[in-house]
């Protein structure tokens, strides 16, 4: 295709090109499209494919012109990007200067961002810690104790509540005499003394619930004051003194199940001995441990890749990731304050930069995935729904692309872990999995 290309603007990763396509290419494609319309059109008064050109042009001329422009723009742009070694990181913004005809050239401008060029750090120079962990008998017994706790049988009690009891309460929150609906709950369940993970307000509030509800009877009514931390997202509530009024509805004592056939059967281990159960737990612990070690190692590699490579980030990719993260956050019914917005923007930047680095690694190491790779990946998986997935792949390109992305990502991760330097570090099982 005959064309003239000028780069009219370069600003960081932003590019603006002016592309002129010769009128001969326009005429060639227009005539080919005209012939196709002529052969495939049924027009009253003429046999199919026999209508004169002037009749076809009168009826379909605008469509033929539009098809011609679309083809020439797409074809010429693809050629230019390949010839100039440009890799767009944003959608193309096209503006037509001259539509083109058999007598005039097609001319258009196209604007887009490109992926940054940077030197990839030599993966063999990256050193990370590789945990060296032996699963001890105490580790196995701790996990078994947790399994027993997960299968506690709860029996309602009428005497005083103690640590470890399960409590069901209704509670209402007030600022002064004004009820605060969003901080009030009915049928709220917790276990007194359970470890609490979360933000400052959650941890502090749960500890007060524990303290207030211990040594109480069913139908007891308790109240306490709690100053909501300034870090609480809702600024109408943060820093305020909240009065909580609680009514205990039910108290349950937990009965830990014994290690016997009834428990083993519930866990899918029919006719297992104590030793066989213990061995099964040990094997599952090894699987979990290996997965966590791999996750920790790749997180360390990612941090080093991010800290040791500098490049500009395409604004389009960053804005799109920020929008997706905010949508997820707001989908959890949470309000965005200034602090959270900064944190989410930081996460988005890290994700985009890491994706760009991974893209570069895949390109250099020729890591890719074909449709056959997708079929093999699904057929070899342990997913109970793989037959349904295989059927969907025939009509769902998005699903196929998601699986391709996963295959490529797995290939990159395996490459990184295999090539980087590893320093063995003695660690305990709980240090890794907890």
Predicted confidence at residue 334, as pLDDT, reads: 66
| Tokens describing residue 333 | 């019914």
Predicted confidence at residue 333, as pLDDT, reads: 61
Predicted confidence at residue 2, as pLDDT, reads: 92
pLDDT digits (tens, 9 = 90+) for 76-117: 999 999 999 999 999 999 999 999 999 999 999 999 999 999
Predicted confidence at residue 292, as pLDDT, reads: 95
Predicted confidence at residue 99, as pLDDT, reads: 92
CATH code of the domain made up of 263-433: 1.10.3120.10
DSSP of 180-202: -GGG-EEEEEEETT----S-HHH
Torsion of CA 388, 391, 397, 398, to 10 degrees: -10
178-186 long-range contacts (CB < 8 A, ≥24 apart) are: 180/237, 180/242, 182/234, 182/237, 183/237, 183/242
DSSP letter at 88 equals B
pLDDT digits (tens, 9 = 90+) for 39-58: 988 888 888 888 898 999 99
Pairwise CA distance, residues 407 & 217, whole Å: 56
What residue spans of 214-314 are helical by DSSP H?
261-266, 274-308
Q: Which CATH architecture has domain 3-113?
A: 2-Layer Sandwich (3.30)
* Mean pLDDT estimate for the chain: 93
Predicted confidence at residue 289, as pLDDT, reads: 96
84-92 long-range contacts (CB < 8 A, ≥24 apart) are: 84/5, 84/7, 86/15, 86/114, 87/114, 87/115, 88/112, 88/113, 88/114, 88/115, 89/13, 89/113, 89/114, 89/115, 89/314, 89/316, 89/317, 90/314, 90/315, 90/316, 90/317, 91/316
Closest CA to 145 of 279, 246, 312, 278: 278
Please state the φ and ψ torsions of residue 130, each to the nearest 5 degrees: -115, 110
Predicted confidence at residue 50, as pLDDT, reads: 87
Residues of the chain falling short of pLDDT 50: none
Predicted confidence at residue 80, as pLDDT, reads: 97
Domain boundaries, the chain: 3-113, 153-255, 263-433
Closest CA to 120 of 368, 315, 310, 313: 310
What residue spans of 86-199 are helical by DSSP H?
137-150
* Fold: same for 3-113 and 263-433: no
CATH topology for the 153-255 domain: Chitinase A; domain 3 (3.10.50)
What pTM did the predictor assign? 0.79
């Amino acid at each position: 295709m005959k064309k003239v290309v000028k780069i009219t603007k370069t600003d960081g990763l932003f590019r603006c090109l002016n592309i002129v396509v010769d009128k001969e290419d326009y005429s060639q494609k227009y005539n080919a499209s005209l012939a196709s319309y002529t052969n495939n059109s049924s027009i009253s008064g003429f046999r199919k494919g026999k209508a004169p050109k002037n009749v076809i042009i009168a009826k379909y001329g605008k469509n033929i012109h539009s098809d011609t422009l679309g083809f020439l723009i797409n074809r010429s742009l693809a050629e230019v990007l390949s010839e100039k070694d440009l890799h767009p990181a944003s959608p193309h913004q096209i503006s037509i200067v001259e539509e083109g005809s058999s007598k005039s050239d097609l001319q258009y401008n196209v604007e887009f961002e490109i992926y940054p060029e940077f030197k990839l750090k030599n993966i063999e120079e990256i050193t990370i810690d590789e945990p060296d962990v032996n699963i001890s008998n105490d580790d196995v017994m701790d996990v078994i104790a947790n399994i027993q706790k997960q299968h506690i049988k709860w029996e309602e009690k009428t005497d005083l509540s103690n640590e470890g009891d399960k409590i069901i309460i209704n509670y209402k929150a007030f600022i002064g005499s004004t009820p605060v609906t969003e901080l009030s709950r009915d049928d709220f369940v917790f276990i007194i003394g359970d470890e609490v993970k979360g933000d400052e307000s959650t941890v502090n509030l749960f500890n007060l619930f524990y303290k207030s509800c211990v040594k109480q009877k069913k139908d007891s009514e308790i109240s306490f004051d709690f100053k909501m931390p300034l870090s609480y997202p809702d600024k109408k509530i943060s820093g305020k003194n909240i009065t909580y009024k609680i009514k205990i509805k039910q108290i349950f004592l937990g009965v830990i199940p014994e290690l016997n056939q009834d428990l083993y059967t519930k866990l899918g281990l029919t006719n297992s001995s104590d030793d066989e159960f213990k061995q099964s737990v040990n094997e599952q612990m090894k699987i979990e441990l290996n997965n966590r070690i791999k996750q920790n190692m790749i997180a360390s590699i990612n941090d080093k890749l991010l800290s040791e490579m500098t490049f500009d980030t395409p604004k389009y990719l960053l804005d799109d990731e920020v929008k997706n993260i905010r949508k997820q956050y707001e989908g959890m019914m949470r309000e965005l304050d200034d602090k959270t917005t900064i944190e989410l923007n930081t996460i988005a930047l890290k994700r985009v930069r890491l994706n760009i680095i991974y893209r570069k690694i895949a390109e250099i190491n020729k890591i890719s995935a074909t449709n056959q790779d997708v079929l093999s990946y699904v057929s070899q998986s342990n997913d109970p729904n793989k037959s349904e997935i295989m059927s969907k792949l025939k009509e769902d390109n998005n699903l196929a692309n998601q699986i391709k992305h996963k295959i490529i990502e797995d290939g990159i991760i395996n490459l990184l872990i295999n090539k980087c330097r590893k320093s063995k570090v003695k660690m305990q099982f709980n240090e890794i999995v907890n």
